[in-house]
Amino acid sequence: MPYVPNNDNDRRAMLETIGVEKFEDLLANIPDKLRLDRPLDIPASSELELLNDIHKMSTSQVTELTCFAGGGIYDHFIPAAVGAIISRPEYMTAYTPYQPEVAQGTLQVMYEFQTHICRLTGMDVANGSMYDGATAMAEAAIMACRVTRRDRVVVSESVNPLYRQVLQTYLSGRDTNLVTVPINGGATDKDALVSAVDNETACVIIGQPNFFGQLENLDMAAEIVHNVGGKLVVTVDPIAQAILKTPAACGADIVVGEGQPLGIPMSFGGPLLGFFATRKELARNLPGRVTARTTDVDGRDGFVLTLQTREQHIRREKATSNICTNQALCATTAAVYMSLLGKTGLKQAALLSTEKAHDTVERICKLDGFELWFDGPFVRETAIRTPLPAARIIEELVSHGILPGVDAGRWYPGYENCLILAATEKRTDHDIDRLVEELQKLAAGHAVPRVQK
């Protein structure tokens, strides 16, 4: 274990060794407004104690749940070949390919991943991945501000609230005006969007499908923001995207999303995979790293890192992003998954998920006290009005081995009886039967009258 100073004398000696009087001197280059003015709520534990705490937490939880939850992370079937391929040592141990002459395999996989993302989104160029969908969206907003030289970001309230929290954190250290547009009927309110967008707007951010599983009018959003010279940023579900009109065809300028559904286990929420694609004219502003195909001196095809506008390669103030890496193994996993399924397989996964979701929702809405929260079209996820608080339903059904959805009330006031339910191709008729039966028992046991809109 590394040495950790455990008394004031040790700390003073270490500070004297590096030539400073106090720890705060090391933060001189960080503006006061960006410094945390309170202690972090982190218990002082050794590595051993921390591991023991984590083990106790994990063993106290129910881990084998039939999952109907979504909200950005989904329980899809992963072919065994995915794990077999990515477990090969050349993938598991590959490091940053700074020297292309010894990293052609890694670079080619990254290139293939980028190609798949471009085909899925309809965009011209993609980077080699980012940390997750949330940071990819935040980086997209910053990129839009940079290319438009504007400082107003407009985001729909229907975008994943966790993504919006990360966006707010990213923009908190910048002189950026973040405006949230309300929803109406499950989708972005058009009139509110028109009012929010002005000549200082760098971008509009919208989800497709959105957090409630509803489909947004991307063409409308593109027209509104393009009329003032701004950019349209769309965050997409890669599985649903296989059966939807591409964001590029709807006028999107930047497309981001969470790649976890592409062959990556749920794993309690991580690691995740952010993907990022844009139009050719914006390529030089891409954050992260980009792999490109070229030829060597003998005319043979080869792959190299290109457009390396990263703080490790150029001056920090000129870098497009402080994310100077990529999720290489997760991106490799996604590339293998997409290659194995192909266009037909991805479409089949999306269609099966859609069929399962609509069947599940239709059966639930026949129960007393349950009905659709919104009437709009959805793919594989939607919001249901429940006779009991969604949080209570989740707590009860988890004890029966079922994770029935996501509690929208955690982020949206007045939505305490809103359960966001998702289905994938893994959900069997038996799974759906059990969910419906448990919901029926729960509702009947409390004799709650049907909720009126």
Residue 105 has what pLDDT? 84
Has residue 449 got a pLDDT over 60?
Answer: no
State CA 322 to chain mean position distance.
18
At position 6, the amino acid (one-letter code) is N
Whether residue 209 has a cis bond before it, omega within 30° of 0? yes
DSSP secondary structure letter of residue 173? T
Mean pLDDT score across all residues of the chain: 89
Q: d(Cα 114, Cα 290) in Å, to the nearest integer? A: 8
> By percentage, how much of the chain surpasses pLDDT 90?
65
Give the H/E segment covering residue 339.
Answer: helix 328-364
Picking from 261, 430, 451, the residue whose alpha carbon sits closest to that of residue 360 is 430
Residue 448 has what pLDDT? 43
The mean pLDDT of 272-293, rounded to a whole number, is 92
Assign 315 a pLDDT band (cuts: 50, 70, 90): low
Tokens of 59: 């063993």
DSSP secondary structure letter of residue 449? P
Assign 153 a pLDDT band (cuts: 50, 70, 90): very high
Assign 450 a pLDDT band (cuts: 50, 70, 90): very low
Contact between 215 and 186 under an 8 Å Cβ cutoff? The reply is no
Longest dimension (CA), the chain: 78
Has residue 229 got a pLDDT over 80?
Answer: yes
Q: d(Cα 92, Cα 104) in Å, to the nearest integer? A: 15
Give every CB contact of residue 175 below 8 A, 6+ residues apart in sequence.
Answer: 151
Residue 95 has what pLDDT? 63
The mean pLDDT of 320-339, rounded to a whole number, is 85
The sign of the dihedral angle between the CA atoms of 263, 248, 138, 418 is negative
Greater pLDDT, 138 or 103:
138
Q: Token pair 């969604």 is at which residue?
A: 390
Residue 102 has what pLDDT? 75
Phi/psi of residue 199, nearest 5 degrees: -70, -5
Phi/psi of residue 432, nearest 5 degrees: -65, -40
State CA 310 to chain mean position distance.
22
Tokens of 290: 């980009």
Tokens of 287: 């954050």
| Helix-helix angle 104-121:328-364, to 10 degrees | 30
Has residue 27 got a pLDDT over 60?
Answer: yes
pLDDT, tens digit (0-9, with 9 covering 90-100), for 204-214:
999 999 999 99
> By percentage, how much of the chain surpasses pLDDT 70?
91
Residue 447 has what pLDDT? 45
The mean pLDDT of 28-49, rounded to a whole number, is 82
Has residue 399 got a pLDDT over 80?
Answer: yes
Picking from 356, 364, 354, the residue whose alpha carbon sits closest to that of residue 386 is 364
Assign 134 a pLDDT band (cuts: 50, 70, 90): very high
Q: Token pair 């270490």 is at which residue?
A: 14
Has residue 321 got a pLDDT over 80?
Answer: no
Contact between 294 and 108 under an 8 Å Cβ cutoff? The reply is no
The mean pLDDT of 280-286, rounded to a whole number, is 92
Other Cβ atoms within 10 Å of 433 Cβ, number: 11
Tokens of 120: 């899925």
Picking from 119, 155, 140, the residue whose alpha carbon sits closest to that of residue 338 is 119
Q: What share of the chain is helix, strand, coil (3-state, %, to 5)?
A: 40, 15, 40
Give every CB contact of residue 126 below 8 A, 6+ residues apart in sequence.
Answer: 113, 114, 115, 117, 118, 275, 276, 277, 278, 290
pLDDT, tens digit (0-9, with 9 covering 90-100), for 347-396:
999 999 999 999 999 999 999 999 999 999 999 999 999 999 999 999 99
Domains of the chain, first to last = 66-72+343-446 (3.90.1150.10), 80-337 (3.40.640.10)
Has residue 1 got a pLDDT over 50?
Answer: no
- Whole-model pTM: value is 0.85
Contact between 448 and 369 under an 8 Å Cβ cutoff? The reply is yes
